[in-house]
Amino acid sequence: MLQDSPIFQSQEFINLCEVHKIKELYAFGSLAKGTATDDSDVDLIVELYETDPVFKGKLLLSLYSKLESYFKKKVDLLTFDSIKNPILEEYIGTSKQIVYARELQES
């Protein structure tokens, strides 16, 4: 499973997720399919605990920057409520793999 990959198990990554109040983080696209190359970007979709739009926006901007620094690659960061295209929604739904879930860290 992708979530067992060392890059998603490092304490740095876990801390990054906790600081940004991530409930769940999924990879999709080439990373989730196992076809990523050195030139591939990192496609992620996130669900945060934060519901206030202002604080959520600030967290997402910070998270985006921190993830690009962490992966040293371009990151495409989406939220579930930002997806309006049904074809994209279906693609993500069929290819996504969980890489972080707060509840998994607590067990």
> Whole-model pTM?
0.91
Question: pLDDT at position 55, please?
Answer: 97
Query: Looking at the DSSP assignment, which residues form a beta bridge with residue 45?
Result: 26, 78
For 91-100, the pLDDT digits (tens) are 999 999 999 9
Environment class of 22 (CB within 10 Å of its CB; exposed 0-12, middle 13-18, buried 19+):
buried
Closest to 44 (Cα-Cα) out of 27, 30, 61: 27
Question: Which residue positions in the chain have pLDDT lower than 50?
Answer: none
pLDDT tens column, 18-39: 999 999 999 999 999 999 999 9
Q: Between 11-19 and 53-71, two packed helices, what is the crossing angle to 10 degrees? A: 160
Give the per-residue pLDDT at 104.
66
CATH number at residue 59: 3.30.460.10
Domain count, the chain: 1
Domain housing 38 = 2-101
Q: Is 16 a domain residue? A: yes
* pLDDT score recorded for residue 60: 98
Flag whether 106 is in a domain: no
pLDDT attached to residue 1: 81
Residue 107 lies in a domain: no
The verdict on residue 77 lying in a domain is: yes
